């Protein structure tokens, strides 16, 4: 642990930590082809923090995101998501962990056959709130300014609106963690800005931790903290102002 920002939160284990990573290594491939992509990552993310993960292509930032999202099995080090150890879990055991996390992708990945509301309801159906799922979906869509588009299918929505439906889907169950992968990459400047502001607003009110991978320099200022990953190692961990000065 070298970075000053990380030192602040280096308590043994604080319940207010959303994600705690210690000496995490990750490899792709097996045997001869085995290639290490993440080297000894240690990182603490407190609850309610908005963190941008940046770095050049192939630096392993998306891989780190999928690991935190419990989308891959892990063998080395320690990764605790909301207090639960992920390292060593089987694929099947990873599924319930995913339900506490909201995912937002570069592409909206909405079902063309479902309305905005139904796409969001797919997320609610993972919980036991089946009876008022439509109300929940409608509430979340309204918060994202799509109150009048609830029964539209994705075809009838603009790119920014589709991404906002995807955000509603990720946030409707009020997850403690949101993982976002280049959420603004497919959007123009104005709608990209719009989408990030909404995300920031919602996360602040709900105390959600956001970890966002992005190349988009236009949105760096929404972050509380910027982590730079180079060649699978943590390069720097700073706030947006310091980051902008140094890059």
Partner 1 sequence: MAFFSFKRVPLAWLNLTHDRKKFATSLGGVAFAVLLMFVFTGFMNALYDSQVQVLNRLNGEVIVINRLKNNMFVPRSFARRRLYQVRAFDGVADAYPLYISDGNWKNPETKKSFAVRTLAFNLGDPVLDMPEVNEQISALQLPNTALIDTRARAEIGPTDAGIVSELAERELKIVGTFELGTDFAAGNGNLIMSDINFLRYFANRGPEEVNRSFATADVGVVKLTADASPEKVVTALQQALPNDVLVLTKEGPNGFVNRERTYWQENTSIGFVFTLLTTMSFFVGIILVYQILYTDVADHWAEYATLKAMGYSNLYLLGVVLQESIFLSVLGFIPGCIISYLLYTGAANATGLFFQMTSERVVNLFLATFVMCLVSGAIAVRKVQATDPAEVFGG
**Span from 77-85, 123-131, 189-197, 221-229 in contact with partner 1 (CB under 8 A):** 123-131
Q: Residue 113 CB, nearest distance to partner 1 (Å)?
A: 3
What sections of 144-188 are H helices per DSSP?
Answer: 159-171
Contact pick of 5, 6, 87, 114 for partner 1 (by CB under 8 A): 114
Kindly state whether residue 11 participates in binding partner 1, applying the rule CB under 8 A. no
Nearer to partner 1, 59 or 238 (CB): 59
Cβ burial, residue 167 (10 Å; 0-12/13-18/19+): buried
Rounded to the nearest 10°, the torsion over CA 178, 234, 75, 64 is 30
Do the Cβ atoms of 203 and 223 come closer than 8 Å? Answer: no
> Coil, strand or helix: which one is 79?
strand
Which residues ranging from 172 to 191 are in contact with partner 1 (CB under 8 A)? Answer: 181-182
Kindly state whether residue 83 participates in binding partner 1, applying the rule CB under 8 A. no
Nearer to partner 1, 3 or 98 (CB): 98
Kindly state whether residue 65 participates in binding partner 1, applying the rule CB under 8 A. yes
> Coil, strand or helix: which one is 209?
strand
CA distances from 164 to 84, 156, 226, 242 (A): 29, 14, 23, 30
Please give the residue ranges that form the binding site for partner 1 (CB under 8 A): 62, 65-66, 69, 71-72, 92, 95-96, 98-99, 103, 105-107, 109-114, 118, 121-123, 125-126, 130-131, 133, 169, 181-182, 213
């Amino acid at each position: 642990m070298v970075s000053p920002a990380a030192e602040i939160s280096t308590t043994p284990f604080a319940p207010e930590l959303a994600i705690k990573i210690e000496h995490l290594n990750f490899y792709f491939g097996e045997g001869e082809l085995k290639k290490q992509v993440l080297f000894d990552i240690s990182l603490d993310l407190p609850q309610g923090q908005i963190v941008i993960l940046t770095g050049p292509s192939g630096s392993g930032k998306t891989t780190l995101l999928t690991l935190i999202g419990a989308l891959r099995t892990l063998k080395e080090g320690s990764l605790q998501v909301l207090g639960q150890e992920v390292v060593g879990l089987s694929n099947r055991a990873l599924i319930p962990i995913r339900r506490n996390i909201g995912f937002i992708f570069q592409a909206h990945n909405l079902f063309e056959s479902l309305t905005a509301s139904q796409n969001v309801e797919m997320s609610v159906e993972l919980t036991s709130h089946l009876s008022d799922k439509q109300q929940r979906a409608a509430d979340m869509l309204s918060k994202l300014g799509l109150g009048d588009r609830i029964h539209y299918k994705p075809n009838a929505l603009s790119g920014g609106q589709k991404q906002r439906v995807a955000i509603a889907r990720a946030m409707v169950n009020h997850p403690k963690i949101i993982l976002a992968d280049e959420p603004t990459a497919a959007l123009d400047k104005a709608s990209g800005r719009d989408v990030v502001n909404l995300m920031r607003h919602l996360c602040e009110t709900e105390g959600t931790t956001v970890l966002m991978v992005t190349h988009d320099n236009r949105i760096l200022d929404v972050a509380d903290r910027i982590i730079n990953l180079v060649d699978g190692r943590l390069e720097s961990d700073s706030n947006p102002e310091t980051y902008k000065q140094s890059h």
